[in-house]
């Protein structure tokens, strides 16, 4: 009997990610005020454009917005810098940078958007002096390092809430904040659809898992907040296997001696590892099998079970769909053919246009899906 796998992205598919977006907007506003530009706002359409460009991690987009704000205020005061305290300063300018110009010129192809943005910005602004360039490097090249970044701690304290932030990172909270994830996120899947998915999963050959770039819990010794687990609990799917960035980064650094983030979508290891977890493999073994396949040293017998399987990926970003395509192509190289269906989920037309390049089906809501008809 044919195996069928449903692989779900979390934010934008299973969840309306109000917490991440609200934190990004509030953090941009707070940082802008601290730099003397109090009228700056980041719109929902601009966030959608970031995500359509595969800048889906607010750790990156917050740093990029901060860099753009700095370049703007430097036209009026070249000595302004962002510091760890992010205190409000006097107004330098009532105007704001044109985020849309940056977004229109940014290239989609980058696993580290902060690094790409840094090169783009220094190339386009030749008037920046060495001190300003160094400060942009400090902002953009460390934006994913909670202990070095000047922007990430504020965002993470909002996301997790001050108490969990301190528990996870051992850093002193600064804004005394409840969790934005718990305050602003809400399920995208209604209860009827959730129940129907549970019924579909009662079939022995039906499997499902959550494939998200959210940070997730990891083995002891590797720091990562349980944001994916919080989301899964909110939508009532905590019983599904979850493969988030925490576990992938742990395996990359601790077990493979690779760079952190290398296995995240669009890397096929993300989808392949989750498929193995759905089949019952332990997390570390699932990732080893997927990594070995990616490195073209797979034990082919361990993948033969997938021959003829159907894999359906539900995503709101193009890189998640690209992950599925790359996984299918790797399996094909070892003689394992799967039937892949890519489902784009989005309401914003900017994101929908980006998904249409790869998706077989596009829907405005996960509630539009009939599980038994895919």
Which letter does DSSP use for residue 189 in this model? S
Task: Let me know whether 43 and 125 are in one domain.
Answer: yes
Number of domains making up the chain: 2
339-345/310-315 β-pairing: parallel
Q: Are residues 236 and 123 in the same domain?
A: no
> Coil, helix or strand for 307?
coil
Residues 30, 9 within the same domain: no
Residue 84: half-sphere exposure toward Cβ, Cα within 13 Å: 8
> Which of 60-64, 295-299, 345-349 bottoms out in mean pLDDT, i.e. has the lowest?
295-299
Q: For residue 84, what pLDDT is reported?
A: 67
Statement: residue 307 has pLDDT above 80:
yes
In the block, residue with structure tokens 């909270």: 173
Q: Are 25 and 47 in a shared domain?
A: yes
Same-domain status, 345 and 219: yes
95 lies in the same domain as 154:
yes
User: In the predicted model, what is the mean pLDDT of the chain?
Assistant: 93
Nearest Cα to Cα of residue 97 among 147, 26, 36: 36
365 phi, psi to nearest 5 deg: -155, 145
Q: Are 168 and 218 in the same domain?
A: no
pLDDT value at 322 more than 90: yes
Instruction: List, as one string, the DSSP characters of 315-353.
Output: ESSHHHHHHHHHHHHHHHHTT---EEEEEEE-SSHHHHH
Give the per-residue pLDDT at 283: 95
CA 347 to chain centre: 18
Q: What pLDDT does 1 receive?
A: 74
Query: Of 127, 149, 181, which residue is a domain's last?
Result: 181
pLDDT 10s digits, 155-171: 999 999 999 999 999 99
Residue 129 and residue 44 share a domain: yes
Q: Average pLDDT of 52-75?
A: 95
Could you read off the pLDDT of 206-255 as tens digits, one per residue? 999 999 999 998 987 788 999 999 999 999 999 999 999 999 999 999 98
Residues 116 and 258 in one domain: no
Q: Which two tokens stand for residue 101?
A: 């110009």
247 and 297 inside one domain = yes
What's 236's domain CATH number? 3.40.50.1000
Last residue of a domain, one of 132, 164, 181: 181
Q: What is the pLDDT of residue 83?
A: 85
- Tell me the pLDDT tens digit for each residue of 89-104: 678 889 989 999 999 9
Last residue of a domain, one of 121, 155, 181: 181
Domain shared by 169 and 192, yes or no: no
SS3 category, 95: coil
> According to the model, what pLDDT value does residue 79 have?
92
- State the residue range of the domain holding 84: 18-181
Confidence class for position 86, pLDDT limits 50, 70, 90: low
**What is the pLDDT at residue 262?**
93
Are both 320 and 363 inside the same structural domain? Answer: yes
Its pTM stands at 0.84
pLDDT per position as a tens digit, 130-160: 999 999 999 999 999 999 999 999 999 999 9
């Amino acid at each position: 009997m044919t195996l069928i796998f449903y692989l779900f992205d979390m934010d934008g598919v299973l969840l309306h990610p109000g917490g991440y977006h609200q934190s990004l907007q509030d953090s941009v506003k707070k940082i802008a005020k601290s730099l003397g530009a109090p009228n700056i706002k980041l719109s929902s359409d601009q966030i959608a454009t970031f995500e359509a460009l595969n800048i889906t991690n607010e750790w990156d987009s917050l740093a990029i917005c901060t860099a753009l704000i700095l370049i703007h205020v430097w036209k009026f005061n070249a000595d302004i810098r962002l510091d760890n305290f992010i205190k409000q300063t006097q107004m330098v300018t009532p105007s704001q940078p044109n985020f849309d110009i940056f977004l229109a010129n940014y290239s989609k192809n980058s696993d580290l958007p902060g690094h790409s943005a840094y090169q783009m910005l220094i190339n386009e602004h030749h008037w920046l002096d060495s001190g300003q360039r160094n400060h942009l490097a400090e902002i953009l090249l460390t934006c994913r390092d909670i202990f070095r970044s000047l922007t990430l701690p504020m965002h993470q304290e909002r996301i997790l809430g001050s108490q969990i932030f301190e528990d996870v990172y051992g850093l002193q909270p600064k804004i005394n904040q409840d969790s934005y994830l718990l305050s602003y996120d809400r399920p995208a899947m209604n209860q009827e659809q959730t129940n129907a998915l549970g019924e579909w999963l009662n079939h022995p050959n039906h499997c499902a898992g959550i494939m998200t770039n959210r940070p997730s819990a990891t083995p002891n010794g590797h720091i990562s907040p349980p944001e994916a687990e919080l989301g899964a609990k909110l939508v009532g799917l905590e019983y599904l296997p979850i493969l988030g960035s925490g576990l992938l980064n742990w395996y990359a650094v601790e077990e493979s001696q690779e760079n952190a983030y290398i296995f995240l979508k669009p890397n096929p290891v993300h989808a392949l590892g989750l498929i193995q977890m759905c089949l019952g493999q332990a997390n570390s073994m699932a990732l080893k099998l997927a990594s070995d396949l990616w490195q073209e040293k797979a034990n082919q017998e361990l993948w033969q079970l997938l021959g003829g399987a159907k894999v359906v990926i539900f995503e709101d970003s193009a890189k998640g769909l690209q992950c599925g395509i790359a996984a299918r192509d790797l399996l094909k190289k070892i003689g394992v053919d799967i039937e892949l269906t890519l489902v784009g989920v989005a309401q914003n037309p900017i994101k929908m246009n980006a998904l249409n390049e790869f998706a077989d089906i596009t829907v405005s809501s996960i509630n539009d899906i009939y599980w038994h008809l895919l």
